Structure 1
Amino acid sequence: MIYRIDVMPAAGVTDRRGAALLKDITDLNLTGPTSARVIEVYWFKGEIDRPAIEKLAREALTDPVTEIFRVNEPTELTTSFRSVLVAHNPGVTDPIEETILKAAADLGIALEAARTGRLYILGGRFNDETLKVITHQRLLNPIVQHAVTPDSIVFGENPKYHFKLREIDLPSGDVGLCDLGKIFCLSPDEIRAVAKYYDNLGRKPIDVELETLAQSWSEHCVHKTFKAKFEFEGQTIDNLLKSTIARATKLLDKPWCLSVFVDNSGVIDFDGENAVCFKVETHNHPSAVEPYGGAATGLGGVIRDVLGTGLSARPIFNTDVFCFGEPDMKYSDLPPGALHPKRVFKGVRAGVADYGNRIGVPTINGGILFDPRYTGNPLVYCGTAGIMPAWAAKPGEQSPGDLIVLMGGRTGRDGIHGVTFSSEALSDKSTEQSFSSVQIGNPIVEKRMTEAVLQAREEKLFVRITDVGGGGLSSAVGEMGENTGARVFLDRVPLKYSGLSYSEIWISESQERMVLAVPPENLKRLLEICRGEGVEATAIGEFTGDKKLTLYYKDHLVCDLSMEFLHGGRPQLKLKASYKTSGNPEPTFPCPSRLDDDLLKLLGRWNTCSKEWVIRQYDHEVQGASVLKPLVGAKSDGPGDASIVRPVLGSKRGVIVGCGINPAYSDIDAYKMASSAIDEAIRNVIAAGGSLDQLALLDNFCWGSATEEQSLGALIKAAQACADLSLAYGTPFISGKDSLNNQFRVGEKIVSIPHTLLISAFGIMPDAEKAVTMDLKKAGDIIYVVGETKTELGGSAYFASKGFIGNNAPGVDTATSKSLYDRLAAAIEKGLVRSCHDLSEGGFGVALAEMAFAGGLGARVNLSRMPQDGSLHRDDYLLFSESNSRFIVEISPDHQRDFEMIMGSTRLNIIGEVTGAENLMIEGLGGGIVIDQSIETSKEAWQRPLKW
């Protein structure tokens, strides 16, 4: 028996989703639709009667106050209405279906299957073409969804798989061999190495063996560009990562760094008894073609990185940074095959928020940037931190005979070839070609799995753990078994549906899965814990002592690879790189006599404006450990610099996190761009009350071409900057990730993203109660500028607002800035600082306005008192320079002497005072007023762009 239930708002209740849909249609610049309704649709299959199905609808699917339901009564439409019923494609995971089946079972209702859909009803006068645009731009994504027609089969049968071993013929000629390499995403040198390996074995490769090599050798998994041998500026760089970033960490040799660059995340000491870890990942390509699912699984994946670090950590907070095309981009300018930036923005935001909120991990820090070059290739950075007992900070080593246990979600076709898809450039055909490459997430499964893993850790039931991420089981088991060997029986892997081949099972990147090495005597207890949490766990094989990867499917040997070749047989890339800084036209425009409009324009720029619309949709209170949240101030709507959590609730000790990113500087100088990102991340931490004493860094490189010489030269310069500043500040890198080939191809035209480096700073605060926020606190307080202002407006928001880039990007003088940071941290620790805010995008003008309207207080300052190097003779340049290593600091007059004594020889000056006038008054170099603006007007300009 099949039933259909429609759930809709009750009479008199506003259809909020319908109203939001109508607004989105308006944003598409479409006319015609005048009304919109959204109805949830459910189909059920099973030997059940109508009373049972009504009980399910009443108790599990509807809110009795605001909703009503109908059983087997599809909504009838008049001729003035059009409708589209959207459902998931066959084989695509729908997390709601699993939840419904469990809810039905809890109610004593035995369902055989469930499906979900959403019915959109539009009223008004519009043609078929308009409906088609609405459908494909707003109602569905063809990668995971389809429009239901009368001919659609709701409960179709999954095809059966009939085993057939697929051996691959290796062409004798080099051209044919290279063509085969393209099919399996292997470079010419790689496929030649593969051919030599099999020639020595005297047999043909099996398809799953080539798939395993392709996944394990992909850019995404092995980061082969960073490990390449570069010829650059007359020198040879053998392994860029080891030569720069990892080398700096090794030279610093901090005893509180417990595990770096060897696990799923970096681990540092927290309090001697506990350790904390942090990882930031990217999920760019999947988010470009399926924003909601791509972003959600990006966050789900990095949460599993933390869960799979050492012997498992409990997630304590999330971070995210997004880079999009501009939301007001004209649809006529949209490249073919690309989704509109606003749709990507909304989908990514919803995916990350839904996953984090549902799994119960607070999202506490991040940022959002916009640039037209991210259209078609958005960047989605997701980070997670965790805490674990100190004894669990490092993984153990499995022994031959230990079982390979697969835990969590079932395996399907979603995510197949995900890492090879993520390693290539995008094009106008990517949406059509990536139907199986985007994973579908289920945060409830991951939450249950997390609880099961942590219980098993406490009982020490496993000796090693890793997540099943990029490359699926091929990477997870392949990496774990490198030093021992592994034997896997693929027909034991639990599947979402029948019909998967042995190769698909092995390389699927279906989400919410972990692999554990479990001594046989512990399996029974582990399975008991999993049953108690409603988590599926299956022993799918064992670790061996033969250093081979052998796979079986129903007693058929389908893979027999040497671990030595799998992990050491990839030929090292040999690349040429060159670099020169950009030469841009130097800006030539007079300094305006008044700068009120310029300040308001900067406050309202996409990159500078309030991101409150996004932040409010995250839960940053869950777990009850948040000390400093993303929004601060009198009305909790000011932009905080860094965030702090207290993961051990009985302790004052905290974890502080901040980030730095400004790709605009890469249009001038990649070294300065990277230096500025590091300095900004550290400034954010210092401004909130942190210090350099136990501060670690994470790098996330998102680059364009991985072959073009200038692009590679920029990558080298940025990596060198990371090493130099790491050593100068004593801040080791503990983890990182790169994502290359972030390009979008339309025909012969290639649009590359700006070279983008995200730096995350992650440290320990001995006393989180000494945190400082950025909002002005009290009229009569003194306002200092700490740090020197220079003529460094290249890549600045101010130059961009005038249509220029410039050439003098901000640099970093680490010799003076380290002392500044140490002294300012000491002043904050002693309680001398009332508020502190770092100066970054938009410079002093934007930072001061933010402090004023966040605190609901005014300020009067004089630009002639600005500490500077003597090169600035224009009010606008003083106001909007983006020189690094600078802060605005609010001090009580009672603390002036003590503050200046601690700051010593640091460049600083009293520039003005806090007032109760609720306006911003700024005097220029000549003594005249250059800005007289109410803080209410400033705040409105800042909040207006993203008041969606």
Structure 2
Amino acid sequence: MLWEVDIHPAPTEADRAAERLVASARQAGYGEQLNAATARAFLIQGEHLGEDQVQRICDELLCDRVVERAEFAPVGDDRLLATPARLAGDATLVQVLPKPGVMDPVALSTETAIADLGIERPLVRTLNKYWLTGVDAAAAQSVSDRLLANDAIEQSVIGPLSVDHLDAGGAYEFHLQHVKISGLDDDALMRLSKEGQLYLQLAEMQTIQRYFDELGREPTDIELETLAQTWSEHCSHKTLAGRIAYRDENGERTFDNMLKETIFAATLELRERWGADDWCVSIFKDNAGIVRFDEEDNIAFKVETHNHPSALEPYGGANTGLGGVIRDTLGTGLGAKPVCSTDVFCFAPPDVDAADLPPGVLHPRRVMQGVVEGVRDYGNRMGIPTVNGAVYFDERYLGNPLVYCGNAGIIPRDMSFKEPQPGDLAVAIGGRTGRDGIHGATFSSAELTSESEDLSGGAVQIGNAIEEKRVQDVLLAARDRGLYTAVTDCGAGGFSSAVGEMGEEIGAEVWLDKAPLKYEGLSYTEIWISEAQERMVFSVPEAKLAEFQSLCESEGVEAVVIGQFNPTGKLLLKYGEHTVGELPMSLLHDGRPPVVRQASYTPSPVTPLTPPDKANYTADLLAILGSLNVASKEWVIRQYDHEVQGGSVVKPLVGVRSDGPGDAAVVRPKLTSRRGMVIGCGMNPRYGDLDTGRMAASAIDEAVRNCVAVGADPKLIAVLDNFCWGDCEKPETLGSLVRAAITCHDLSLQLETPFVSGKDSLNNEFSYEADGQKQTIAIPPSLLISAMGQIDDVEKSVTMDLKQAGSALYLVGATRDELGGSHFAQVNDLEGGAAPTVDGPAARDTFIALHQAINSGLVRACHDLSEGGLAVAAAEMAFAGELGAQIDLSAVPFVGDGDSAAARLFSESNTRFLCEVAPENEAAFSEALGGRAAKVGVVTDSQELTIESGGAAVIKSPLGELKAAWQSPLAW
């Protein structure tokens, strides 16, 4: 029997989902006459499911009778199609449900909950129903396509459902498929690469062709897919870890492995420099970087990108982006316990006119809402606090948003490494395998186009945080019992990457028919490369298999042996009695052909930026505070639980009303200790328009600066790099990335700040046809630097809000004429100027001196100067603390030419802080900073910010006006 249960808002309650839909539809131009009503619906199928049982399911599980009403009937009953009473007139019914085979986490949880009631476990699917009035059927379909259903994962139905809408396919009939590659010319090879969504280069296709020609046979489809996954940009980082001939104004230089010779090399040199004092544990070789924390434990940190999937399906892309990076932490060493998460998003402005969107592009507001909800739901449901992040806006992220998700965890020192052993069994646990996530690794390595949703919709994955929470609990318990020798997650490439990487030094045999499936019909190749979520692979000694499986069963986690690590040096893939693939590990991991890529960088000439000479800059300050990149992100932050686990010390929002912008997060990973972990980040893509080297330096300085501002020890800060770039087949684009990497190397050594992990995401471009011509939108070069610091006692942490009238305000660091790429330049439409520089040795000395002052209790409040410079920092500190401030610009230390009121107010020079110091601590603070700090003002109780120059106020504004400007742009 197939029942449908509809859950409506109670007659006394507002239909919030309908209100949001109507607002969005009217904004999109569908007219004031449109109205709507909504319902959540469940399709429940059980052979012996009766009316009394469905009633019980409604009452005990699905419907909150206080604010909702439920009605149910067999599917197709007219009562379920009738227009709700709250709408007047006839309505068009639009039903939106996942496509067959797409992960439906709510349905899975509902099935489990029904079984817990003692009712035979049924099959459940969910959908959403929308009744629309004021539009005809064609307009209703348009509303559905643009606002309700995402064709990558969902289907919309006008009117009643049919069996076809629910069909998930039939059983799979085995057929070994070979792919003709012998005899193909270069054009045919590249056509095969593109049409097969392999996205390999010509030299790589030629290498594969030669290998199988020597064997005298064609490759099977699974062999070709395995090579494509392993050699993909996403998995092998073949551009940045490859050979590059680089040329800039300093001459020519050749890299055999650019990443190893820049970022990796800096950390190796630092470790040699430190010798016995080396506090790095594992760098660039596991799922996350690991550093020493205390005598018992280490801490791990990883930041990933999930850009392309989020462009197609924002909720699912971001949801699984966070889920995947949490599994990176879980799969580090023998397993780290996740303690906090971070996120950084880059979107096009949310007020883009829908009529101006290129074909195939979701509206930025829809992308933003979906991405935030995806991260929110995954983190909150897993019970992991999201404690730090940022949001950036630029028109060039249209069609290609960036979604960075990070996770940090704690791991016992003696469990920080793993090594699978010959003879161990490969055991998969967690979610079942489905078609969600097919070609995710190769798709992420390709340019997005207006057709990507149709061609690569299967690359989108849907997460299930509840399943991952169970996996986490099992993993940590099994780790502590010593039940496995290695673990990794099924990330990009699924079983292909997990087993392929774990068995690289040994060999592996995989029995694909043993893998648990979500539904029938998957081929052996789909099973192998699916990126269905919440799955991990363990290397389990046979003697410990029974205990391992028993533990999994006790937590409701499915665990199945899918293969064995055999010392053959080969990857052998079987389906039943059939061998479907056989490849040497050496070909997979070392056989990719070397390609020398050309890279060049020509610095843009620095043109003068002459700021307007004004008597008053209050309007400029208000405009900067109200610009999207500076404005409050409270709408995002409030959706996250940053208190769960009880370790959050310095929150994302601070101050009297907990709504001021904190610099970095402080978290206690062990509630039995006051030692803390500090998480911060730095990024400013606009600087890259002027010089990507200076952009990289500024990002590093900002990330470290944020951590130091709350109390982190600069001698124990590790950083991660995440390069998101455009098409690096273009020499000038790749050159701009190499420029940034060289700067990362140099500044890492100067600051003695090691890189311990990283990730790159290339080909972040979107192309479409317009007027018969190909148009391309390339993202700006976007380097995110994430920092993980440490503080020996969290009670010494400092926040940025002003604390007491009468305190002195000290500016730490020198101000320069560096308005290029600044927010002052942006709000005034000014071009040119120089992006900020970083004096590495001076920065390190400043960080150490300020830390000593904070650690000695000499600082009441500290805020780093970044977007908007001194004026914005002072405004934020004042309205967060609800105390006024008076500042004298003539006291601001200025270095070099270009000295002006605008430069002193709004320059974004690096390595600067604004500190509040109690009167009795001024002498000690000045001594600790050793001439690096100047007294520039005083905290007042006036509820007003006043900044003077030459005795006249150049900025004068009530705090309420400043705060309103800062909070209003994203007050959704």
Instruction: Pick the TM interval, shorter chain.
Output: over 0.9
Separation in 1, partners of 2:269, 2:900: 43
What is the TM-score when the length of structure 2 is the normalising length?
0.96
Indicate the residue corresponding to 1:689 in structure 2: 711
Select the residue among 150, 159, 167 that pairs with 2:160.
150
> Does the Cα contact within 8 Å between 2:504 and 2:569 map onto a contact in 1?
yes
Distance 2:123 2:22 in 1: 33
- What is the DSSP-based 3-state SS (H/G/I as helix, E as strand, rest coil) of the residue aligned with 1:823? helix
3-state SS in 2 of match to 1:436: helix
Q: Is the 8 A contact 1:33 1:122 kept in 2?
A: no
* Among candidates 529, 537, 541, match of residue 515 of structure 1: 537
Q: What RMSD over aligned residues (CA atoms) do the two structures have, in Å?
A: 1.3
2:227, 2:333 → 1: CA distance? Answer: 26
Which residue identity does 1:231 align to in structure 2? A
Structure-1 residue corresponding to 2:406: 383
Q: CA deviation at 1:590?
A: 2.7
Count the aligned residue pairs.
Answer: 944
Aligned mates of 2:294, 2:543 — CA distance in 1: 34
Seen in structure 2, the aligned counterparts of structure 1 residues 151 and 775 have a Cα distance that, compared at 3 Å, is closer
User: Equivalences for 1:206-605 in 2 at 5 Å?
Assistant: 206-233=220-247, 234-253=252-271, 255-395=278-418, 397-583=419-605, 586-588=608-610, 590-605=612-627
Kindly provide the CA deviation profile for residues 533-583 of structure 1, in whole angstroms up to 9, marking residues without a partner as x. 111110011010111100111110001101111111001221111111224
Question: 2:611–2:902: 8 Å Cα contact kept in structure 1?
Answer: no
Deviations 1:668-720 (A, max 9, x none): 00100000000000110010111212110000000001111111111111001
Alignment equivalent of 2:840, drawn from 802, 814, 820? 814
Matching residue within 898, 920, 923 for 2:948: 923
Partner of 1:831: 857
Contact 1:487 1:543 in 2 (8 A): yes
Shift of 1:806: 1.6
- Conservation of the 8 A alpha-carbon contact between 2:199 and 2:445: no
Distance apart, 1:130 and its partner CA? 4.0
Q: CA deviation at 1:136?
A: 2.0
Q: What is the SS of the residue equivalent to 1:65? A: coil
Q: 450-459 or 5-14, which moves further after superposition?
A: 5-14
Q: Against the structure 1 CA distance between its residues 710 and 201, is the aligned structure 2 distance closer, same or farther, given a 3 Å change threshold?
A: same
Question: Which amino acid is the alignment partner of residue 176 of structure 2?
Answer: L
* Conserved 8 A contact 2:92-2:137: no
Opposite residue 48 of structure 1, the aligned amino acid is L
After TM superposition, the structure 1 = structure 2 runs for residues 86-165 of structure 1, keeping only pairs within 5 Å, are 86-123=96-133, 125-128=134-137, 130-148=139-157, 149-150=159-160, 152-153=162-163, 155-156=166-167, 158-165=169-176
| Offset, 1:151 | 5.1
Letter in 1 for 2:267: T
Say whether the 8 Å CA contact 1:314–1:386 is kept in structure 2: yes
Is the alpha carbon distance of 1:506 and 1:32 closer, same or farther for their aligned partners in structure 2, counting shifts above 3 Å?
same
Q: Which residue of 1 aligns with 2:76?
A: none
Residue 201 of structure 2 is aligned to residue 187 of structure 1: yes
What is the letter of the counterpart of residue 297 of structure 1?
T
Q: 1:169 to 1:348 in 2, by over 3 A?
A: same
Are 1:19 and 2:19 matched, yes or no? yes
The question of whether the paired residues in 2 share the 8 Å contact of 1:872 and 1:878 is answered with no
CA distance in 1, matches of 2:386, 2:343: 8
Unaligned runs of 5+ in 1: none
8 Å CA contact 2:345–2:403 kept in 1: the answer is yes
1:629 aligns with 2:628: no
The answer to whether the Cα contact below 8 Å between 2:885 and 2:944 also exists between their aligned partners in 1 is yes
Give the secondary-structure state (helix, strand or coil) at the position aligned to 1:110: coil
Q: Give the Å deviation of 1:793.
A: 0.6
- Mapped partners of 2:285, 2:243: distance in 1: 21
* More displaced stretch, 883-892 vs 131-140: 131-140
In 1, are the aligned partners of 2:817 and 2:896 still within 8 Å (CA)? no
> 1:127 offset after TM fit, Å?
4.2
Is the partner of 1:817 in helix, strand or coil?
A: helix
Contact 1:660–1:678 at 8 Å: present in 2 too? Answer: yes
Q: Which amino acid aligns with 1:818?
A: R
Q: Given that residues 182 and 218 in structure 2 are in contact (C-alpha distance below 8 angstroms), is that contact kept between their aligned partners in structure 1?
A: no
CA distance in 2, matches of 1:133, 1:731: 53
- Give the drift of 1:730: 0.8
| 586-595 vs 203-212, greater mean Cα deviation | 586-595
**Which sections of structure 2, spanning at least 5 residues, go unmatched?**
74-78
Aligned equivalents of 1:80, 1:825: Cα separation in 2: 68
Contact 1:585/1:804 (8 A) holds in 2 = no
Task: Calculate percent identity across the aligned residue pairs.
Answer: 49
Paired position in structure 1 for 2:721: 699
- 8 A Cα contact 1:95 1:441, kept in partner: yes
SS across alignment from 2:255? strand
- Contact 1:279/1:306, CA 8 A, preserved across alignment: yes
User: Aligned to 1:79, what secondary structure does the other structure show?
Assistant: coil
Q: Give the match's secondary structure for 1:828.
A: helix
Q: What is the rounded CA distance, in whole Å, between the counterparts of 1:79 and 1:556 in structure 2?
A: 61
Instruction: Pick one of 773, 778, 796 that aligns with 1:752.
Output: 778
Which residue identity is paired with 1:389?
A: P
Contact residue 861 and residue 913 of structure 1 kept, 8 A: yes
Q: Distance in 1 between matches of 2:606 and 2:121?
A: 66
Whether the aligned pair in 2 keeps the contact of 1:796 and 1:805 (CA below 8 Å) is: no
The amino acid across from 2:223 in the alignment is E
CA distance in 1, matches of 2:449, 2:886: 52
Q: TM-score, normalised by structure 1?
A: 0.98
Q: Which moved more, 1:177-186 or 1:373-382?
A: 177-186
Contact 1:45–1:111 (8 Å) recurs in 2: no
CA-to-partner distance for each residue in 1:579-610, whole Å, 9 max, x for gaps? 11224764445322111111110000000000
Distance 1:711 1:805 in 2: 21
Q: Which amino acid aligns with 2:63?
A: T
Is 1:74 aligned to 2:92, yes or no? no
Q: Does the aligned pair in 1 maintain the 2:199–2:446 contact within 8 Å?
A: no
How far has the Cα of 1:388 moved from its partner?
1.2
* Counterparts of 2:682 and 2:430, CA distance in 1: 35
One-letter amino acid matched to 1:919: E
8 Å contact kept, 2:747–2:840: yes
Indicate the SS of the match to 2:120: coil
